Amino acid sequence: MYRFLLSRQWVILTLITLLLIPTMVWLGFWQLHRHEQRVARNDLIAGSLEAPSVPMTDLSSVGGAPDPDDRYRAVTVTGVYDTDHQVVVRNRTNGDGAVGYHVLTPIVAADGTAAVVNRGWIESGPDLTRTPEIPAPPTGEVTVTGRLMADETTDTTGIRERSGLPTGMVMMISSQERAAETGEPTLGGYLELTETSPEPAGQDGPAQPAPLPEPDHTGIGAHLAYAFQWWIFAAGVPVGWFLLLRREIQDRRKEAAREAKAAEAAAAEASAAGPAGGAEPAAGLAETGNRSADQRSDHAPA
């Protein structure tokens, strides 16, 4: 009855079933881990944003990198902006999805230590091959406050470096690259500007860069729902395989019953045809015998 399971079709179907079940279970756990990472990230951002600001030197060092747990912490730097080494970061969008640039301006403290400040977003001009006009930062000594961020890399952003960029343009924000260009000892990571003291006074020229929005830390996405969906799919695969097996067995039983019924009908027809065929020769012999008797009586002497 079950020898059909060794057929090519059923062997392939069974192997696919055995592969799908662990794959879907793994995908469910992968989505669960994505959910847990999103929740942990939200908790990290919320805690960092609520924490009081500290000097950037407390959380970063020259040539080093901020601790991952210190990301988004409010940090402060006091110094003077170095506009001679100001650059823009290409292909950055604002909250409305418009493409423009992020403005990076080093700020140099009294001891000569620099920090990279992302001052915000400016729109791109019609000619993307030319460095846009950059709003001038406040002059004199200022204290800036912002979110501490880790340097960008290709692995973390998916952005690749490009050669031949116009002067004053970069693809990613990297304190090490800025330090190599300026020659100034630069704190690891960078500061995403949120506040300047004293505030910039009104000035001629382009407006100050638009502040970058606070990172989203409320949404958790649909990863948990996707995890349960994958596990439901994993549970449904063997159920589907069993239903196909049951239908195959039922179809084969019905086919076997039809064949048995057809064979039984053929046998009954053959048995019914046998006696009828034997009676006809007997009747023929009787009729022949009667004719022979009549002939003999006709030739007998009177």
Fill in the DSSP letter of residue 121.
E
pLDDT of residue 228: 96
In the chain, % of residues over pLDDT 70: 88
Tell me, yes or no, whether 62 and 122 share the same domain: yes
Tell me, yes or no, whether 174 and 73 share the same domain: yes
Q: Where are the beta strands (DSSP E) in the chain?
A: 54-55, 74-81, 87-93, 99-108, 114-123, 141-149, 169-170, 186-197
In the chain, % of residues over pLDDT 90: 52
Domain membership flag for residue 38: no
Domain membership flag for residue 114: yes
In angstroms, the CA 171 to CA 75 distance is 24
Tell me, yes or no, whether 191 and 68 share the same domain: yes
Tell me, yes or no, whether 66 and 189 share the same domain: yes
| Overall domain count for the chain | 2
Tell me, yes or no, whether 58 and 119 share the same domain: yes
Tell me, yes or no, whether 155 and 67 share the same domain: yes
Structural domain for 265, as ranges: 1-17+236-287
pLDDT of residue 280: 53
Domain membership flag for residue 117: yes
Domain membership flag for residue 228: no
Q: What is the dihedral of CA 254, 257, 258, 260, to 10 degrees?
A: 160
68-77, 97-106, 271-280: which range is least confident on average? 271-280
Average pLDDT for the chain: 86
In angstroms, the CA 171 to CA 177 distance is 11
The phi, psi pair for 129, rounded to 5°, reads -90, 0
Burial 268-284 (b: 16+ CB within 10 A, else e): eeeeeeeeeeeeeeeee
Over residues 184-193, the mean pLDDT reads 95
Tell me, yes or no, whether 174 and 105 share the same domain: yes
pLDDT band at 302 (very low <50, low <70, confident <90, very high): very low
pLDDT of residue 111: 94
Domain membership flag for residue 175: yes
Domain membership flag for residue 76: yes
* Two structure tokens written together for 296: 């003999």
Which has the closest alpha carbon to 194: 208, 179, 173? 208
Domain membership flag for residue 202: no
In angstroms, the CA 269 to CA 263 distance is 10
Residue pLDDT, tens place only, 10-19: 899 999 999 9
Residue 41, pLDDT > 80, answer yes
Tell me, yes or no, whether 100 and 4 share the same domain: no
Tell me, yes or no, whether 173 and 249 share the same domain: no
Residue pLDDT, tens place only, 221-230: 899 999 999 9
Tell me, yes or no, whether 247 and 157 share the same domain: no
Tell me, yes or no, whether 143 and 273 share the same domain: no
Over residues 99-111, the mean pLDDT reads 94
In angstroms, the CA 168 to CA 232 distance is 53
Tell me, yes or no, whether 180 and 251 share the same domain: no
Domain membership flag for residue 302: no
Listed residues 144, 166, 197: the one ending a domain: 197
**Higher pLDDT residue, 88 or 275?**
88
In angstroms, the CA 18 to CA 35 distance is 27
